[in-house]
Amino acid sequence: MRATEYLFLVVIIGAFMGLVVLGTNELNNAFPQNQINNSYFAGYDYSSTITNQANKTFSNFQKLGDTETSWFSRIGAGIVAIPYAVISFPVMLAEAFWALSTMISKALGNFVPSFIILAIIGFMTIEGVRRLMEFFQRSRA
């Protein structure tokens, strides 16, 4: 099998697990008297820190586009929003990579440390970017 087929398999498994989590949450909401024990899902929720940081950036841009605020407040929001977004985007990417490596490490039973998996993900990202650059340079010629 090619590497892309393995990636497709990982995406399919991840989508299936996401559907299982959503299904159990919906069943718990629909039938509160018969709760499904989903306490083992709580250890894998790493999205809250990334979501909080993205919401802060989004609220700054909402303030920038709000027509009911004064022009001085919008200028101040613009001065704050754009640098904050430029600074927070790499931080959010780093947190996402760290969350991914931690999830993979836990899925492997902590047999492989998170920083090793983070290094592997980094190598794969670098290789992917390099291949994309080669592809686009070849397509231009």
Same domain, 68 and 41: no
pTM value?
A: 0.52
Going by the DSSP 8-state scheme, the letter that residue 34 receives in this structure is S
* pLDDT score for 44: 62
Closest of 55, 123, 50, 47 to residue 91, by C-alpha: 50
* pLDDT score for 85: 82
Residues 6+ apart with CB under 8 A from 91: 53
Same domain, 92 and 125: yes
pLDDT grade for 37, boundaries at 50, 70 and 90: confident
Instruction: Count the domains in the chain.
Output: 2
Q: Are 81 and 105 in contact (CB under 8 A)?
A: no
Going by the DSSP 8-state scheme, the letter that residue 32 receives in this structure is T
Read off the pLDDT of residues 104-138 as tens digits, 9 standing for 90 and up: 877 777 787 777 787 888 888 888 888 888 888 88
How far is 66 from 3, CA to CA, in rounded Å? 46
- Expressed as residue numbers, the domain containing 70 is 47-141
